[in-house]
Amino acid sequence: MSDRDAEFGEYLDSRAVVMRRTAYLLSGGDWHRAEDLVQTTLAKIYVAWPRLNRAGNVDAYARKIMVRTAIDESRRAFRRRENVVGDLPEIGVPPAGVDDAVDVRRALAQLPPGQRAVVVLRYWEDLSVAETAQALGKSEGTIKSQASKGLAALRELLAAGRVALEGSPCPTT
């Protein structure tokens, strides 16, 4: 095994869990999309590894690649295509006592990809406004605006009660 592979393996071991969690939030709560997102990110990191490792900014590059890939994926036509069915499926109400974290994740999944990326980086990854702006390639004003709109939308969704999988509020029991 080369030094490059060993160094990349060490980085992967130390950051894999964090990357998966961030990807899960960026993908709207879909573990399958999150795994794809992590794999794409890791492939791009591996290609640029010698340059990134020398510069020492691997985490910043990883976040930027992950967010851009998540946004690009959400724009693809096959992600927006509707599935037409004859009968509507029954929508079950989550059992009483479901952890509030599930509601937050579902509400987060309903945000537009750009707002979701800002909210995840600012409040999950705990990046500053400047770091988030740099990671997304946007102005600090845009980051502040998107964070404000994203948080307002989350508050509105969560204030209505339990958030269903489809996004409509469920009656609380």
Token code pair at residue 147: 């964070």
Say how far apart CA 71 and CA 55 lie, in whole Å: 26
Residue 86 CB: number of other CB atoms within 10 A?
A: 4
Number of helices (H), then strands (E), belonging to the chain: the values are: 9, 0
Q: What is the mean pLDDT of the chain?
A: 81
Per residue in 134-145, pLDDT (tens digit) is 989 999 999 999
Per-residue confidence (pLDDT) for residue 171, from 0 to 100? 42
Name the residue with higher pLDDT: 164 or 17. 17
The structural architecture, per CATH, of the domain 100-159 is Orthogonal Bundle (1.10)
Per-residue confidence (pLDDT) for residue 161, from 0 to 100? 65
Per-residue confidence (pLDDT) for residue 53, from 0 to 100? 77
Per residue in 26-57, pLDDT (tens digit) is 988 888 889 999 999 999 999 988 888 787 88
For residue 145, with 0-12 CB atoms within 10 Å meaning exposed, 13-18 middle and 19 or more buried, which class applies? middle
Confidence grade of residue 126 (pLDDT, cut at 50, 70, 90): confident
**Fold exhibited by the domain 3-79:** Rna Polymerase Sigma Factor; Chain: A (1.10.1740)
Q: Is the pTM of this model over 0.75?
A: no
The residue extents of the domains of the chain are 3-79, 100-159
Token code pair at residue 58: 């691997």
Say how far apart CA 164 and CA 92 lie, in whole Å: 9
Per-residue confidence (pLDDT) for residue 146, from 0 to 100? 94
